[in-house]
Each structure stands twice: as structure tokens, then as C-alpha cells.
Amino acid sequence: MKIAILNNLYAPYQKGGAELSVEMLARGLVRHGDDVSVVTLHESDRITQEERDGVSVWRLPLRNIYWPFGDTKATQTERLRWHLSDIYNRTAARDINEVLSAISPDIVHTNNLSGFSVSAWKAAKHRKIPLVHTARDYYLLHPNSTLFTNGTIQNEAGFTARAWSLVKKLRSSHVAHFVGISQYVVDIHRRNGYFPTASTSVIFNSVEMPAAAPRSAFVAGTQPTYGYIGRLDPSKGLGVLLDAIRQFPTSRLLIAGSGNPEYVSHLKNSPPANVEFLGRKSPTDFFSMIDILIVPSTWAEPLGRVVLEAYAHGVPVVASRIGGLADVVWEGETGVQFELTSTHSSKSLSDGIKRIAAMDFPVMSRLCLKHAALFTIDAVSQSYQRVFQELVE
């Protein structure tokens, strides 16, 4: 098949896990014999084309007032103008139509559309090309794409969200097949009226499997080493984690990642004595240092790539029961879940840590590796191939 994949960013641009997932999918499809073109955005004012790892990469100008994917400091007025333009960007649609004419694909697969807008769907519909959309965040529901602000999960059915999303919802009828990266992502879009005529599936993100064998599982009777890796941000529940780990003074907690310097300084101001901040670490290096991963997010992550990476290294997980995390942490098999509450989240997390510390680690580690097979590049790309083939036929 000739497949055109749209995503607002593509290597070497990377802001989050979505770009990595799209790149892995493109590479996987090429490996399985498909002719893959990626249509993406860049900071230049012209359309360019290049080859990258067997993928034809078309880079389009961003047809808006500033580049939002870097360190640009925009005013509130500028942000408002940007989002208004991004509701339905006709100029972007003309660029997409031009590139689709050059590619002539059998299928169009859209992903993160911020910067393109849902006008990309109209371009595919205009050319009568079957259209698949994968929701990797909450962009269609709210322009901030996270449904999280000022430490609070937003109501996706509230007036503000509905006003911003009306056009996107109407245009979602162009999509023939809707993919969510978790059941949670599928459900939140479906219950809000998106993709009324589309068939639906859940296809998790893929992860690179480590070249080396995972470390030996934690041995019962010793003190496990816990770990957190990712962005250091209040939405990640690090305050909850630091409070909970005080209950386990003889166990180590390793924290890897970076974030806003002011917030990182706050975290390091008076942490428990058993906490060590490592800075940025590669997943392979980090997972070789820990026995249990803790993911205490307080926002509804669409999936939680770090959980899948942990499984690939045979590391079980303690995670908050929220968003897509609840879909990929199998209670008692690959980890445990804990409830977030308004007053007792730290207590709930510490209870979860006690539960997992009492479980059979060698068995859990083997189950993590078994479940990791669901998330390999080959498994995920083949799942998409089946969806694409059904629509083309």
C-alpha cells in the first residue's frame, strides 16, 4: 500500500511520545513492504521533501502566526489568535492537498493535527481517499490537548470545550476508521459525539525492545529500588510520590528526568533522604537500576509510554488508576493500581507499594516481558496494516 501519515512533528523534531510513536509506525510499515510518506510541519516557509530511513518525509510550512512547538513566548492574545486559526485552517488544507496529489496514496492516516487543523480531513475526503485517524492526545476535545490546567482535570463536556471543538466534531464524520491508543481515549471521544460513522479499534503505541536481556528480577527479602522517569512536572504526581516514599525509608527512589527549573528546584529543596535525582537518563540505563517503576500521574494520560518501556525491560509498575494508565497496568500481573483522592492519594500510593512489594517478582517480571510483545514495532504496524487493508479493499 501507499500510505500517507500526517503528524504535526516528525524526527528530528520531537516534543513528546506521539512523534516517537509515529516514527516507529512509519519505520515498521516500511519494514513490512509498504510505501510510506509522512506529511509534517517545519519552520521553513516552503514545502520540502527528503528520504529518512526509507520514509518519504514531506515538510510543510506552518500556516499560522508563530511556531508553537519550541520555546516561543507568545502573549495571551497571540495564543488566542493561533487557536482560532487552528480550528479550521484552509491554507494548510491547500498545502496538504498539493502534497497528497504528488503522493497519490491508497490511505491517509492522520495523527496529531495541531498546526494542520481538521482541514486535513477535508483534503483527504476531497480526493476520495480512505481516512484513518489516531487520537494520541485530547486535541479534538480542547485546544490545550491535555484537558488539564492549573492542577485540575478539565470537563471535556463543559461549555468552553464544546465551543472550541464544535467544528472538529462535525468534521470527524469524514473519518472512516478511528483508532485510540487506549480504550480510555476511544471512550472519551465516543461519548462526546466524535466519529459517528467510523469503525473503531484500540491500538497501543509501540516501544523499542532493548537489545540486552533485562536485569534479574528483585529478590524477595531485600529492599526494592523504586524509580520514576519522565517529565518533572506537577501533573505527574511527584508531590504524591515524595510523600508516599517517606513511608519506606530503607528503600531507594531514583528520579530521572528534567522540567521547569523552578519546579525542579522546589522538588530538590527538602526531599526524603532515600531519594536521588539523576537528571536525564536513557530508558535502558534507568530500568537497569530499578526494580519497580512508579507512575503517579494526576492527569488522565492518554496511555503512558513509560509503562510499556518498563515492561520491555521486565520491570513491574505501580500506577494511578486514571486515563489510559488503567488500560495497560494489569492488576496483580504486571503491577498494581492505586486510587487518586482529594486528600489521601499518598496513603493510597503507599498501600500500592506495600502490595507490590509482597508479590512474586520473578513471575511479575516474566509477565511484563510477555505483555511487552503487544507493543513491539512489528505488532503495532501489523495491526495498522490490517485496518488499512480492510478500508482499501
DSSP codes of every residue in 273-330: TTEEEEES--HHHHHTT-SEEEE--SS--SS-HHHHHHHHTT--EEEES-TTHHHH--
Range list of β-strands (E), the chain: 2-6, 35-42, 48-52, 55-61, 107-110, 131-135, 148-149, 152-153, 177-180, 199-202, 225-229, 252-256, 275-279, 292-295, 317-320, 335-338
d(CA 310, CA 316): 7
Helix (H, G, I), strand (E, B) or coil at 20: helix
* pLDDT value for 233: 94
* pLDDT value for 363: 93
C-alpha cell at 153: 482535570
CA nearest to 193, candidates 211, 208, 205, 175: 175
d(CA 187, CA 185): 6
* pLDDT value for 98: 97
CATH of domain 2-206+376-392: 3.40.50.2000
Chain-centroid distance, C-alpha 2: 25
- The pairing of strands 177-180 and 317-320 is unpaired
Helix (H, G, I), strand (E, B) or coil at 262: helix
Q: Does domain 225-374 have CATH number 3.30.980.10?
A: no
* pLDDT value for 220: 67
Chain-centroid distance, C-alpha 33: 26
* pLDDT value for 212: 74
Contact present, 339 and 352 (Cβ < 8 Å)? no
Helix (H, G, I), strand (E, B) or coil at 61: strand
> Domain map of the chain by residue range?
2-206+376-392, 225-374
Contact present, 337 and 326 (Cβ < 8 Å)? yes
Q: What is the pLDDT along the chain (393 residues), one digit of tens a residue?
A: 999 999 999 999 988 889 999 999 999 999 999 999 999 999 999 999 999 999 999 999 999 999 999 888 899 999 999 999 999 999 999 999 999 999 999 999 999 999 999 999 999 999 999 999 999 999 999 999 999 998 889 999 999 899 999 999 999 999 999 999 999 999 999 999 999 999 999 999 999 988 777 777 777 677 899 999 999 999 999 999 999 999 999 999 999 999 999 999 999 998 999 999 999 999 999 999 999 999 999 999 999 999 999 999 999 999 999 999 999 999 999 999 999 987 889 999 999 999 999 999 999 999 999 999 999 999 999 999 999 999 998
Domains 2-206+376-392 and 225-374 equal at CATH topology level: yes
Contact present, 132 and 100 (Cβ < 8 Å)? no
Contact present, 298 and 243 (Cβ < 8 Å)? no
C-alpha cell at 120: 486535513
Query: Cis peptide leading into 12, omega within 30 of 0?
Result: yes
Instruction: Tell which phi-psi region holds residue 243, choosing left (phi > 0), alpha (psi between -120 and 50) or beta.
Output: alpha
Name the amino acid, one letter, at 214.
P
pTM: 0.95
**What are the φ and ψ backbone dihedral angles of 58, each rounded to 5 degrees?**
-105, 120
